[in-house]
Structure 1
């Protein structure tokens, strides 16, 4: 789910440069750009690879570094974990073991330069090696890579770039099973032409023999445009509008209208369930549906994306408002209800609009739906479009304000007057919605979809209480009651908060129990973990 930054980069770009059709097809599909991006695609060589064709620079640098009489190898392994978690003890141990064993067996005219992720680098003391050194920090990575005679990597895309040199590439995949356990690949390792080795002895043997494979088809398929003039051609074509024979194309959609639905934080609650049920019956023959959420807010509930229909796309947003110090003061005053929404929007309305345009302004959407109906910032943000916009009302907001204080009357009154449609999920809450500023002209009733087929399918399953279910009795006793077919059972499902009316149900059961013997009441609750 952490794709907000690249998605936004693609959406805001005038051109997206791709090195081949394969990469273009998969990147547009995986980042869900096909129908909403207004960028143009351009096929060409990557500017960073120009240096690989600079033989003069290669000779000069080798001479400056006194490496003219050496076999120079580069090792650029993929980072195994992530920057927040760090490396695992296992991956560190494997890497150090292989480096030490290689170092012991290398000849004096052989040198291996290693480029590690900063987190991994902190675990390696290069002073302990004789023939293994760190990439020099004062030289740009690809500039230095150009002087090497062979690249050793594993699952990194760097070998696509290095293939421009025509020099040997070796894939050192000693931990293939562990690495692939929770990761996927676009290409199978078996389909890649470069030799794969699993231990340092095999690696050293490959390093010391010449290029023993034919990668011409690989180069033709994946780097057909690379040359010494990639940067020049790209600049001449996109800046000077000269025809440099680089294929340029629009991103072609399927012709359907694009609908964006803001889903809140994707928590396993009634709003998320309602959206899921709605999308299960939505007309995907006419519309493309995109679920939107803020990455940080939804980080604990990313798994819920797998519960939506597979033909629904999503658009993640990242970051917060870009504000001056004065703007921040106004926002804090608004947050603590010291100033009302009217004054806030008069002062910071420009910033709210900028925030909307930063997230969605470059995407082709026909309708924006604030489906969650909550969170003042998100409610106000979607008032800033000149396209069709809708806000959902999932509950009696007057009672929510009175009993829970989780909404703001001033924000709702401001918003309900500015959305083209205010969608109440039942007739019962239309009156309270009108009291909060909506008009009879823009209020409509869109009832929640009942996932009948899902309910019927689950009714055939054996009852169970999962680890998150809280019960007023022990689970064993609760299961005995649930599975007892001799008794009638009434089940209510709803958030355990005042406006859901559970108190009325309890009082009604009390009256019922006075007239019926053997009645029991149990409470089962779902515990949400943030």
Structure 2
């Protein structure tokens, strides 16, 4: 029996794996199909593709524009297409029939016909974003209507979601037209999605097409009669979704809403009716048959048609109240979880600044529903519904389709300064990240507009890493690399995996990455693009194909990296160093290996890393803290006792990887301890593949009880400050900013005599030793004899010089 069960489990897993492979293949084929048409087809000037919520719906602004395009004979020559999820096709058909939208066809969202239309349709209209493969073609006219006025924070303003805003931001930036109902919304969207100095299209403060319905109250009266509700007082409840898809919060919200509805049903009278529209994950779990005075929204109708016929709106934190206020009817905010909700999710405007009554429980709610409107929302409507009016769809279609400039076009601020795009990598806890943040701290950001870019998936595990960036910098997350033709797949595999290179391979590698650059950044003008991290063959090749002046930083001896590591790609590194506009070693010591790889002295510029010496001093004065992720061979209390005793404390800080020379250092310390029987060695590291190996190696030494190994400390400076000597034991290295940190805190420094730290340590009077066990051991003896001085560098002047060097990158060679 067990054998049979094991067999079926194995078969089931194999089927799942096969399904994943087939799904991936299908996705690749669709992408290839799209790219084929992207290159081979001309635009069809009479084709309009409309996308409402990525095919999940047909309503709101998209529906109203579709009504105009279908119902007005002026557009009779145009063909309308709607994208639809496969499970929403029937619903979408019914909507088209109900609203008499003819000359329209439905295509499957992200299906072959949809991708073909994305490449061929001249006019694209969306209220969200496009598939990740989408690249705008020359001549396409894209309109983004969005789908609501923001109350809850969006884009960069949401700390734990800013990393994922890239596809929405891209869709906004590539749009020719953005529609907004108010200056308030325009300003929020531009700021939240970092569009200042990037967006090249036009903003139409036209009002929302969907809100025009509220200027025809007579249509609401007719619909109410049609639905047999004319003799009732009708309320509508549209709360915000609070749950998390697939988690227990969904069940909690269902029970919570159901409880409130049961209470309301008991308190409402027979001449009162409550219509409810909930998020689908909650709505499908509610049985409306158990209620006498409550029912779901009538099927088929756009929610705004229903809103136009009711007497009062009940909501909470949903932006629907901005739109509904156009009716002049009463709005009640049912905010039973106000404090909890607002703690979890920030908002732009405090609810208390709005004129609407707020209630906390059902009893208060029903009492408030039976009161007449007793507040003045004139100023509210002036601010938040500023441009809403009749016939918005008609006006907008004239402007964007017929090119009749009936609306005033606005542009986003362009201060005329150069835009600089910087790829920063993962912002992991390492010296490279420290150097990058120090640079941002010291540059004069008023000279240029700086934007930091990164791959979204790199931040999924720790989204709050984005908050390390200063508030003044814009962010441009990208979704990654999607969509290749079979020839491009073959070329990239041969190039990156098989390390083959010829004219044919490079033709398709460059075609792919130049299209990827255009897809991710191509609608914005960047005068300079900087690959700051300097690592990663994909992003190096991406920036290699930038149409702008590209700059790459070099943080290490890349000749050694290529010899000793398998995660570097020689062809890509050599090509980058040979052809980039500027190649930037961060110390004179790594000039020679950089030149050796690129063989181009004309594009090499030395730019020293900046040093946040004031921040280091501030951090060193904080208490020692072990983070949740900290793993240490001693407890915090034991560490503090050791740091306070009189024995010498030697320390190194660096990731657990081969080039850091930790085993060499351990052997040197073990030799020192065997003779002198005193002292401690502290190794603090972040990530690195050799952590377990280092730990095990230390346990086999005679000095093991005097070796402290700590994995991950967000702030190791208080520990560093209490030590007596810093040792950089690297076999190869860039500059090694931790040398500067130790010197800032008054520690003498021993460094291995290798390119990278050598120049700095020599210049400022530090102590160099051969990169060997004997060399480091002799350094420890020299320290005992008082022969290792503190360098005491003037870091204010040092940073000024580094920024002077940085400024030369923006000069012509």
Q: TM-score, normalised by structure 2?
A: 0.61
Do 1:400 and 1:407's aligned partners in 2 also have CA atoms closer than 8 Å? Answer: yes
Aligned-residue offset at 1:462: 3.8
1:150–1:474 CA distance, 2 compared to 1 (3 A): closer
Aligned-residue offset at 1:101: 0.7
Cα RMSD (Å): 2.5
> 1 CA distance for matches of 2:302 and 2:499?
52
Q: Hey, what does 1:315 align to over in structure 2?
A: 476
Structure 2 unmatched ranges of 5 or more = 1-161, 687-710, 714-813
> 2 CA distance for matches of 1:194 and 1:475?
53
Aligned-residue offset at 1:474: 4.7
Do 1:470 and 1:525's aligned partners in 2 also have CA atoms closer than 8 Å? Answer: no
Verify: 1:490 aligned to 2:650, yes or no.
yes
Aligned-residue offset at 1:152: 1.0
Aligned-residue offset at 1:110: 2.2
Aligned-residue offset at 1:69: 2.4
Q: Hey, what does 1:212 align to over in structure 2?
A: 374
1:459–1:528 CA distance, 2 compared to 1 (3 A): closer
Mapping 1:84-99, distance limit 5 Å: 85=247, 87-99=249-261
Query: Which segment is superposed worse, 331-340 or 176-185?
Result: 331-340
Aligned-residue offset at 1:179: 0.8
Aligned-residue offset at 1:175: 1.1
Q: Hey, what does 2:661 align to over in structure 1?
A: 501
Do 1:471 and 1:523's aligned partners in 2 also have CA atoms closer than 8 Å? Answer: no
For residue 575 of structure 2, the aligned residue among 402, 407, 414 is: 414
Q: Deviations over 1:408-434 (max 9, x none)?
A: 112212222231111112223222222
1:429–1:161 CA distance, 2 compared to 1 (3 A): same
Q: Hey, what does 1:195 align to over in structure 2?
A: 357
Do 1:19 and 1:46's aligned partners in 2 also have CA atoms closer than 8 Å? Answer: yes
1:333–1:102 CA distance, 2 compared to 1 (3 A): farther
Q: Deviations over 1:454-487 (max 9, x none)?
A: 1122233344444433334454433322222x23
Q: Hey, what does 1:451 align to over in structure 2?
A: 612
Aligned-residue offset at 1:139: 1.9
Do 1:391 and 1:419's aligned partners in 2 also have CA atoms closer than 8 Å? Answer: yes
Tell me which of the two structures has the higher relative contact order, counting C-alpha pairs closer than 8 angstroms and 6 or more residues apart: 1
Q: Hey, what does 1:363 align to over in structure 2?
A: 524
Verify: 1:441 aligned to 2:595, yes or no.
no
Aligned-residue offset at 1:35: 1.9
Aligned-residue offset at 1:17: 1.9
Q: Hey, what does 1:153 align to over in structure 2?
A: 315
For 2:422, what is the secondary structure of its paired residue?
A: strand
Q: Deviations over 1:142-198 (max 9, x none)?
A: 233222222111111111111122222111111111111122221111110112111
For 1:300, what is the secondary structure of its paired residue?
A: coil
Q: Hey, what does 1:20 align to over in structure 2?
A: 182
1:107–1:333 CA distance, 2 compared to 1 (3 A): farther
1:85–1:325 CA distance, 2 compared to 1 (3 A): farther
> 2 CA distance for matches of 1:265 and 1:438?
29
Q: Hey, what does 1:114 align to over in structure 2?
A: 276
Q: TM-score, normalised by structure 1?
A: 0.92
Q: Hey, what does 1:81 align to over in structure 2?
A: 243
Structure 1 unmatched ranges of 5 or more = none
Mapping 1:270-349, distance limit 5 Å: 270-332=431-493, 334-337=495-498, 339-340=500-501, 343-349=504-510
Q: Hey, what does 2:223 align to over in structure 1?
A: 61
For 1:211, what is the secondary structure of its paired residue?
A: coil
Aligned-residue offset at 1:282: 0.9
1:188–1:261 CA distance, 2 compared to 1 (3 A): same
Q: Hey, what does 2:302 align to over in structure 1?
A: 140
Aligned-residue offset at 1:365: 1.9
Q: Hey, what does 1:230 align to over in structure 2?
A: 392
1:449–1:212 CA distance, 2 compared to 1 (3 A): same
Do 2:630 and 2:712's aligned partners in 1 also have CA atoms closer than 8 Å? Answer: no
For residue 324 of structure 2, the aligned residue among 159, 162, 177 is: 162
1:341–1:402 CA distance, 2 compared to 1 (3 A): farther
> 1 CA distance for matches of 2:659 and 2:571?
20
Do 2:182 and 2:384's aligned partners in 1 also have CA atoms closer than 8 Å? Answer: yes
State the 4+ residue runs in structure 1 displaced beyond 6 angstroms.
none
Query: Which segment is superposed worse, 253-262 or 285-294?
Result: 253-262
1:305–1:319 CA distance, 2 compared to 1 (3 A): closer
For residue 432 of structure 1, the aligned residue among 559, 575, 593 is: 593
Verify: 1:524 aligned to 2:697, yes or no.
no
1:495–1:99 CA distance, 2 compared to 1 (3 A): same
Aligned-residue offset at 1:86: 6.3
For 1:201, what is the secondary structure of its paired residue?
A: helix
Q: Hey, what does 1:392 align to over in structure 2?
A: 553
Aligned-residue offset at 1:23: 1.8
For 2:332, what is the secondary structure of its paired residue?
A: strand
Do 2:173 and 2:200's aligned partners in 1 also have CA atoms closer than 8 Å? Answer: yes
> 1 CA distance for matches of 2:492 and 2:473?
34
Structure having the higher Rg: 2
